[in-house]
Structure 1
């Protein structure tokens, strides 16, 4: 399961001239932390090209909770699905911190793609990656424990948005516990319990909106379902949480 897109983002994969041409089609936008950039079910069709900062892609559930589908950062585009199929927005995009972006109308974005088949191919590849990730996510929700899913998320965040320090790997994205819960389809209470287990065994350290991965090898084993906190690598099954 993955919160992130492809290793090489859409904007960065475009030739420099095409990237400049696309950004010239839009207008700059600035978003404050927590500000909604795109709202689920809206009928707007603009596309946002992200220049800096991180955003959270989420959907509402029938129980009124929120499920985080992805994190999108600099170089990526959001809102492209509605721009292409002209249907209501499938998810909400919220600024995680301060975000700088360029807003491009759906008509201009479609014209840009029509004139550049390689750009259309990049968008199709992006959509396929998201579809595959959704398939993996469904399997994870059906077969993995909360502890295993949380460990996998922390490993991914450490690898993609972590900063090495003497104490371990500091996760740079300020995701509070309720967002971590929304990112793995669990309750906040279950995530708090799993984090407590990881802290007690020295796998992670936590502070307000901060997580430091202290023992990455053990965390990887947990994500793979091959260990539990405090166990040796030969232990095969993590405890249920």
Structure 2
């Protein structure tokens, strides 16, 4: 599953007049870092139209752990599934940093959609993209190494939330600690720490406090595509076309998406 929504965010894809009409139906809300915006299994049906900031979508597992499904930023509407089917919330959404949003009741949101078939089509396309992404994630958890899944996540973060750094590096400064990165990969923190160590040893990334600098995007892309693998400890450098590689960690905690 991609951490980011596919295509343009829902609000950005709406015509300006419709976007303004939707936002006028709600009230502004502010969230502090770490504050829960939506709670899994809650029966509320309001939606949140995110105007600024980043939030993280997660579900709890039977083992009591947390699995991160997605990151949602400005222009996204969250809570739309419960608003449409009026069932319990399927996930928890937590503010990563300060978030500004507009809260719109589920009833008003449904009326907005019913009066605008093109908006309904956008929501249905979003549901479809998430379902396809979930299917891909189940396949990834069952068959890909932790290293490859981590590379995929780092490429996504660099492309969608990175900024240009020194010497061509791409710097990602989202407040996503290592245990959350592990939750986004679907692996243990120890397995992700080992994969990050391999990437640092090969000078593919540099890590800091909630900061990752991608110093070799080309090689990271090869790893994400499964066309390069790490060497044995003390061996030669990363080799394109070597598959998962002998130093890769096998997939851990492989389980279907919730």
Coarse TM-score class (shorter-chain normalised): over 0.9
Conserved? CA contact 2:113–2:120, under 8 Å: yes
Any stretches of 5+ residues in structure 2 without a counterpart?
231-236, 250-258
Spell out, residue by residue over 1:105-158, the C-alpha distance to the aligned partner (whole angstroms, 9 max, x if none).
000000000100000000000100100110110000000000000011001110
Report the Cα distance in structure 1 between the residues aligned to 2:98 and 2:207, rounded to whole angstroms. 23
CA-CA distance at 1:226 after TM superposition: 1.5
Q: Secondary structure at the match of 1:225?
A: coil
CA-CA distance at 1:225 after TM superposition: 1.5
Spell out, residue by residue over 1:131-187, the C-alpha distance to the aligned partner (whole angstroms, 9 max, x if none).
011011000000000000001100111011110111410013121110110001100
Spell out, residue by residue over 1:51-95, the C-alpha distance to the aligned partner (whole angstroms, 9 max, x if none).
000000000000000000000000000000000000000000000
What are the within-5 Å matches in structure 2 for residues 59-78 of structure 1?
59-78=59-78
Report the Cα distance in structure 2 between the residues aligned to 1:52 and 1:133, rounded to whole angstroms. 24
| 1:126 corresponding residue in structure 2 | 126
What are the within-5 Å matches in structure 2 for residues 1-241 of structure 1?
1-167=1-167, 168-229=169-230, 230-238=237-245, 239-241=247-249
Report the Cα distance in structure 2 between the residues aligned to 1:240 and 1:105, rounded to whole angstroms. 47
CA-CA distance at 1:232 after TM superposition: 2.5
Report the Cα distance in structure 2 between the residues aligned to 1:72 and 1:106, rounded to whole angstroms. 19
How many residue pairs are counted as aligned between the two chains? 241
Conserved? CA contact 2:46–2:106, under 8 Å: yes
Q: Secondary structure at the match of 1:194?
A: helix
Report the Cα distance in structure 2 between the residues aligned to 1:80 and 1:179, rounded to whole angstroms. 24
CA-CA distance at 1:7 after TM superposition: 2.6
CA-CA distance at 1:235 after TM superposition: 2.3
**TM-score, structure 2 as length reference:** 0.91
CA-CA distance at 1:202 after TM superposition: 0.4
Q: Secondary structure at the match of 1:48?
A: strand
Conserved? CA contact 2:173–2:210, under 8 Å: no
Report the Cα distance in structure 2 between the residues aligned to 1:240 and 1:199, rounded to whole angstroms. 14
CA-CA distance at 1:233 after TM superposition: 1.5
Deviates more, 1:164-173 or 1:2-11: 164-173
Spell out, residue by residue over 1:197-230, the C-alpha distance to the aligned partner (whole angstroms, 9 max, x if none).
1111101000111100001111111111111232
Report the Cα distance in structure 1 between the residues aligned to 2:58 and 2:243, rounded to whole angstroms. 33
Deviates more, 1:164-173 or 1:154-163: 164-173
